[in-house]
Structure 1
């Protein structure tokens, strides 16, 4: 069994139940701490619809927090969901525009994460 994350009628990620559940919980908590909307809505217990406009706005806000912070623990926590989120944006043709070499390296790494569809 797996989770399903859809944008419109297209599945953009279908991780195992444990991975999907962890992503949803961590993404939701990060958004709560940063006072952001999640951009994901449960359709069923293991199925989520992504509002790509909100998800993109949220992911870019987390991306900016990540690259403006000097706190390595904070960055590690943000990075746990930021990588998959950037990968989803890339898959949807909306990758972040890198403003530095570090951002370019992160985007390339995020895009390389194996995420079954």
Structure 2
């Protein structure tokens, strides 16, 4: 018989960043609740970083950027910082446009390999 996770925030060690999932379209009304979640994660886990998983954030708007900026400010005031996990390319572009520096993690962008670059070198291959 399996049971669900215990109620409340998960317990993690100080080496593991705390994770907050930010899903759905967010509005300024969500700032207070999400800010409390960020402060609680920093305090309860002892982590220095709160990873905000924004993969399911929904449509990228200035309101969502505003919410993320306020979460970063809240984390810094509490002695931590925010890192974004799996931001959409549109969100990355908008954050760059408005000049908000966030640490990012997640899937690397798919790019074409650079021309004239060897992927591997075998022992005994002549140098070019």
Range into which the TM-score falls when normalised by the shorter chain? 0.3 to 0.5
User: Normalization by structure 1: what TM-score?
Assistant: 0.33
- Bigger-Rg structure (1/2): 2
TM-score (norm 2): 0.31
